[in-house]
């Protein structure tokens, strides 16, 4: 089968990593319970920042956020490696900006993700992901972001939200843990 995955906050805990980094850089100690209850994908509000200041901070820390040791979600890496061993096709579809595509692909490989160069799609806008998903005729696609998921409600691909506090409004099947994927495709 053909599986497509968003990367940030679907396979890896980028937002959680950034949250801890913000705490460190801003010398704050905002608790995990605040993080877990947030209804927005952006995390700046928890640190008392407005959108402009939040955007600037994110940009200034982007390399550190993207290319350090952000952890994969529980079970994600094992699941992808297993799918790969079983001969399934794995595609990555990320809206990281074009200038980050090469390094992101390398980062995934360096961290043990099974990546075939031609199965890595990057640099599109959120609302353009649908074109890639349809073109690739994916059987399954996983993403966390409401702005993406909402464009995918009518596609033939089986689309799942990777469950999070900020995507509860989207009425779509969801995955809470990567181990659930096995049952789902049985
Ligand atoms: Mg994402």
pLDDT of residue 14: 97
Answer whether 61's CB lies under 8 Å from 18's CB.
Answer: yes
Q: What is the mean pLDDT of each run of 10 residues along the chain (186 residues)?
A: 98 97 97 95 96 97 95 97 97 98 98 97 97 98 98 97 97 97 90
Question: What distance in angstroms lies between residue 10's CA and the mean position of ligand 1's atoms?
Answer: 5
Q: What is the pLDDT of residue 185?
A: 87
- Cα-to-centroid distance, 135 and ligand 1 (Å): 20
Here the CATH number for the domain that contains residue 127 is 3.40.50.1000
Predicted model pTM: 0.96
CA distance 137 to 2: 8
What residues make up the domain containing 25? 14-66
Distance 82 CA to ligand 1 centre (A): 22
CA-CA-CA-CA torsion for 88, 89, 94, 98, nearest 10 degrees?
Answer: 150
Domain boundary, last residue among 24, 39, 66? 66
If asked whether residues 129 and 178 sit together in one domain, one would say: yes
Domain count, the chain: 2
pLDDT value of position 28: 97
Cα 144 to middle of ligand 1, angstroms: 5
Q: What is the pLDDT of residue 156?
A: 97
The residue written with tokens 């990057």 in the block is 122
């Amino acid at each position: 089968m053909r599986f497509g995955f968003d990367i940030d906050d679907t396979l890896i805990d980028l937002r959680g990593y950034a949250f801890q980094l913000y705490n460190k850089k801003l010398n704050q100690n905002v608790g995990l319970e605040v993080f877990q209850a947030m209804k927005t994908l952006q995390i700046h509000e928890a640190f008392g920042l407005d959108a402009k200041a939040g955007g600037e901070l994110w940009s200034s820390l982007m390399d550190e956020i993207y290319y350090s040791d952000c952890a994969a979600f529980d079970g994600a890496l094992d699941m992808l490696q297993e799918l790969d061993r079983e001969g399934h096709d794995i595609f990555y579809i990320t809206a990281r900006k074009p200038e980050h595509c090469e390094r992101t692909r390398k980062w995934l490989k360096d961290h043990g993700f099974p990546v075939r160069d031609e199965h890595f799609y990057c640099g599109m806008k959120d609302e353009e992901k649908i074109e890639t998903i349809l073109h690739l005729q994916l059987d399954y696609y996983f993403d966390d972001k409401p702005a993406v998921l909402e464009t995918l409600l009518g596609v033939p691909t089986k689309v799942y939200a990777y469950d999070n506090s900020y995507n509860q409004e989207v009425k779509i099947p969801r995955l809470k843990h990567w181990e659930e994927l096995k049952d789902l495709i049985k």
